Amino acid sequence: MSIRVSTRFYLHPHELANGAHKVYCRITVLRKKAEFSTGLEAFAREWDNSKGLYSNKKARNEELVQYQAKIIQAKNFLELEGKEVSAKAIRDVVTERKKLRLTLLEFTRKFIEQHEKLEDLSKSALDKYKTTEKYLKSYIEHVLGQNDIALKEVDFAFVDGWDGFLKGTNSKQFGRRLSGVTIEKYHVRLKTILIKAQNEDYLLKNPYGIFKIKKVKVPPKYLSADELKKIREQDLGSNESLEKVRDIFLFTCYTGLRFTDAQSLQESDIYKDGSGSFIEKTQEKTKNDVYIPLLPEAQNILSRWEHLPERQITAKLYRKFLM
């Protein structure tokens, strides 16, 4: 449960030589208090004690609101770091007695770790965020010449430079330049991370409010029944490994399952009734339930590899192929 933090601005009782008073801030956490000077001054006649604000000075009150935002930011920072949240600790961060400099890579790592604990993202989605983290680290080190960058320094120029870096980067998996669709996905993930940082007051302005992610439209391509037949009947020279790879591909074609859903398919996801067999499964990406009739071709693939011991159906093929 998040700890409640309250703040109150007040005039210090000591009167300065000019007759004004220093404006102090009192932070209260679990009934324990810590105070600090805001560096502002006010005359008693221009101060509203009931509200803890200036009576008629909008600009000064905005400065006090900024202090409140810093206090919330400091609290979030301490919670994110797993440190004790106390009035004194918050005061020390706000007054920079303990310097607040959360970095992009630190926040990205915390973002991933939090979702790993919450288990609200699929392993595939988490892996993609981890890959995004690696590309960010490479960009910061090799292009910017730094080990990391403060979150508050992530601006339009940073994102624009990262876009250029991605366009000139080769995919380690395919040995060619990253596609426009892939680059778009990396931008979407970074934007998601920065939205969270902004919501937690670590980032004043999200650069994606200015930088527009280029939407890449890829026309869908379909295999015809004849093309599927050619793949199914292609002579692979009795190479069992290649036959497994072909069957994995064909199984996803006959069922319409996404790669990640096919990969995690369990025998318990397959049901039989009077009308035949079908798959009942919750999709990892959309969390929607799907009911897919098993075509005879898909059932034949399952029967062909029934002797493999693994419980996951398609994992029977993946693991055996990788061994």
pLDDT of residue 101: 67
Give the separation between CA 280 and CA 310, rounded to whole angstroms: 20
pLDDT of residue 78: 87
What local confidence, expressed as pLDDT, does residue 166 receive? 95
Q: What's the pLDDT score for residue 320?
A: 44
pLDDT at 311 over 60: no
Tell me if the pTM is above 0.75. Answer: no
The beta strand positions in 184-274, using DSSP E, are 270-273
pLDDT at residue 4 is higher than 80? yes
Q: DSSP secondary-structure letter at 7?
A: E
Residues 6+ apart with CB under 8 A from 139: 161, 162, 165
Can you count the helices (H) and strands (E) in the chain?
11, 8
Would you say residue 313 has pLDDT above 60?
no
Q: What is the mean pLDDT of residues 35-58?
A: 93
Reduce the DSSP state of residue 241 to 3 states and report it.
helix
Which pLDDT does position 316 carry in this prediction? 47
Q: Partners of 11 in the beta sheet?
A: 23
Confidence band, pLDDT 50/70/90 cuts, at residue 198: confident
Between 120 and 195, the higher pLDDT residue: 195
Taking phi over 0 as left and psi of -120 to 50 as alpha, with beta for the rest, 287 belongs to: left
Please name the helix (run of DSSP H) or strand (run of DSSP E) that holds residue 312, with its range, or none: none
SS3 content of the chain, % helix, strand, coil (to 5): 50, 20, 35
What are the boundaries of each domain within the chain? 5-94, 104-209, 225-322
The reported pLDDT for the residue numbered 322 is: 39
pLDDT of 98 strictly over 60: no
Which CATH architecture does the domain made up of 104-209 adopt?
A: Orthogonal Bundle (1.10)
Give the span between the Cα atoms of 53 and 5, in whole angstroms.
Answer: 18
Alpha carbon separation from 299 to 43, 197, 226, 235, 258 (Å, rounded): 83, 47, 19, 21, 18
CA–CA separation, 193 vs 187, rounded Å? Answer: 10
Mean pLDDT of 300-309: 77
Give yes or no for residue 83 having a pLDDT over 80: yes
Lowest-pLDDT choice from 11-15, 84-88, 141-145, 256-260: 256-260
pLDDT value at position 321? 42
Tens of pLDDT, residue by residue over 220-232, are 788 888 999 999 9
Tell the residue number behind the tokens 């965020």, with chain if given: 129
Which CATH number does 225-322 carry? 1.10.443.10
Dihedral sign computed on CA atoms, order 205, 210, 211, 213: positive
Q: Which residue, 300, 297, 303, 311, is CA-closest to 268? A: 311
Pairing of strands 21-29, 32-42: antiparallel
151-190 pLDDT, tens per residue? 888 999 999 999 999 999 988 777 789 999 999 999 999 9
Reported as a pLDDT band with limits 50, 70 and 90, residue 317 is very low
